[in-house]
Structure 1
Amino acid sequence: MGEGLLDLRSQLGFYKFYHHNPRNVLIHSIFVPTILFSGCCMLHRVKIYQGISLTAVLSVSFSIFYCLLYFPTGLLAGVLLLLLNLALIDRRVDLTFKQELSLFVIGWIFQFVGHGVFEKKRPALVDNLVQSLVLAPYFIMFEFLFKLGFMPRLKATLEHDLEIKQRNSRKQKQ
């Protein structure tokens, strides 16, 4: 298995190792988008240059990284981020900062509950903060696509890789 920064299998495998309990994945499927949405709303208030928001800069950066990992799904993620940015620019999202912050905090609380109660494993962000924050929305999109029946070989490969990682992890603990 390739371990490179731009290797889709290793990137998704890293995240899957911390998120394989179905209840935790469900929690993340709800609250990663909640955190992404509320975080984008808050960061849209921060203007970098001539009205360009921090959300726009991060969205472009995330989209490029996702496209480099795998172009078709990277393009899909990029379109979704573009739509979110357009909604923010057109003020179709009209939340107060307090509402945005509340959604953001609630999302993080549920994430940690999912790890502590169901996964029984520390969150991935403890081992790699940046990779976890950037990869989380992309991973959740893949989980959704897997549920719809797309990319069954990739899903099977990731599950096989996870079994090997778990076996190796158990051996190291013994």
Structure 2
Amino acid sequence: MTPSGFLHGDVNRSPPIPVWSFSSSSASSSSSRSIIAIPTTMRKPPLPPTRPQSCNRPSPVIFIFTEPNFRTGGLKRKGRPRQTSPCATPDKSTSPSPKQTPSSSPATMAQSGGGGGGVLDLERHFAFYGAYHSNPVNVFIHALFVWPIFLTALLLLHLAAPSLHAAAVGAAVYGAFYVSLDRRSGAVAAVLCFLCWAASAALAARLGYSVGCKVVLITQLFCWTMQFIGHGVFEKRAPALLDNLVQAFLMAPYFVLLEILHKFSGYEPYPGFHANVQKLIDAKRKEWEDKKAKKRT
């Protein structure tokens, strides 16, 4: 085999290509053949795989499946990364399912307490107290007589408590609890608690033990009688203190204040508060009415 010349291609792109020729002879025929040797540097690279025309998706994507990590609050990898074709449809059995949210129906919210639960759940506290005070006349009676009960209770602590600071501690606990529920309305309630403490201290110093105890007794009896009338005649439901004594005593002054602020100024601790609370109250009252109907039957 001997080189017989060069095959000149495009002079701008590639050098001349050597052409090798050889001859063979046999008894029957004689022929001459040529072989073109193409260098490997001139061979065209393989074309990239083409995508079907019906596929409009971008290049292949690596999917990394994750699942919620409830211990750290983030996400953790599940399994090994997997590369799929651009036109492949995801497998429903392995694809991550969307996060399921709990039902927001009034009955479910009533069972869970409306908010996040706990001692500082304002919606739950307000809905509990509101379920026992839905009649306007009963609410008005409580607006008149709840704060006098609180005032005379502090007066009784000034007169009969063994510690001189018992009334101050009681007023501070109420005020701090209301501020922790809502800063703005809680601050107003805390100021009222302080004013009640100051007024009770002045009354205790002026009236003395004997007259002061009589004032406390008369005021407490009158105010509680009016509230029981409001529940028995208008609300037609037992007071909240029969079901939860501590919660009823804690929330009564603040409930009255929030009702007054909402009625005269449209105040809400946050947007949608009263709408959410009303749903909880309706659910609680429906549950109470169902239990009452079962007892009758």
Residue of 245, 263, 274 corresponding to 1:147: 263
> What does residue 83 of structure 1 align with?
195
> What does residue 131 of structure 1 align with?
247
Unaligned runs of 5+ in 2: 1-113
Q: Is the partner of 2:180 in helix, strand or coil?
A: helix
Q: Measure how far apart 1:56 and its partner are.
A: 1.0
Aligned: 1:38 with 2:157 = no
> What does residue 105 of structure 1 align with?
221
Report the residue type matching 1:101 in the other structure. Answer: L
What value does the CA root-mean-square deviation take over the aligned residues?
2.0
Residue of 122, 126, 141 corresponding to 2:238: 122
Q: Measure how far apart 1:46 and its partner are.
A: 3.5
Q: Deviations over 1:68-111 (max 9, x none)?
A: 21122221111111122223334598453212210111001111
- Count of aligned positions: 172
CA distance in 1, matches of 2:216, 2:175: 23
**Bigger radius of gyration:** 2
CA distance in 1, matches of 2:185, 2:285: 27
Q: Which one has a larger percent strand, Structure 1 or Structure 2? A: 2
Tell me, yes or no, if the aligned pair for 1:42 and 1:101 is still in contact at 8 Å.
no
- Bigger CA drift: 6-15 or 26-35? 26-35
CA distance in 2, matches of 1:104, 1:131: 19
Q: Deviations over 1:90-141 (max 9, x none)?
A: 4598453212210111001111111111111111000011110111001001
Unaligned runs of 5+ in 1: none
CA distance in 1, matches of 2:254, 2:205: 22
- Bigger CA drift: 57-66 or 16-25? 57-66
> What does residue 19 of structure 1 align with?
133
Aligned: 1:74 with 2:186 = yes
**Misfit runs of 4+, over 6 Å:** none
Tell me, yes or no, if the aligned pair for 1:66 and 1:77 is still in contact at 8 Å.
yes
TM-score by length of 2: 0.54
Residue of 140, 143, 157 corresponding to 1:29: 143
> What does residue 55 of structure 1 align with?
167
Structure 1 residues 26, 83: closer, same or farther in 2, change over 3 A? same
> What does residue 278 of structure 2 align with?
159
CA distance in 1, matches of 2:274, 2:206: 37
CA distance in 2, matches of 1:94, 1:135: 30
| Percentage of matched positions with identical amino acids | 37
Structure 1 residues 81, 23: closer, same or farther in 2, change over 3 A? same
> What does residue 9 of structure 1 align with?
123
- Bigger CA drift: 131-140 or 68-77? 68-77
CA distance in 2, matches of 1:70, 1:142: 10
Structure 1 residues 91, 100: closer, same or farther in 2, change over 3 A? closer
Higher relative contact order (CA 8 A, sep 6+): 1
Structure 1 residues 100, 169: closer, same or farther in 2, change over 3 A? closer
- Bigger CA drift: 135-144 or 29-38? 29-38
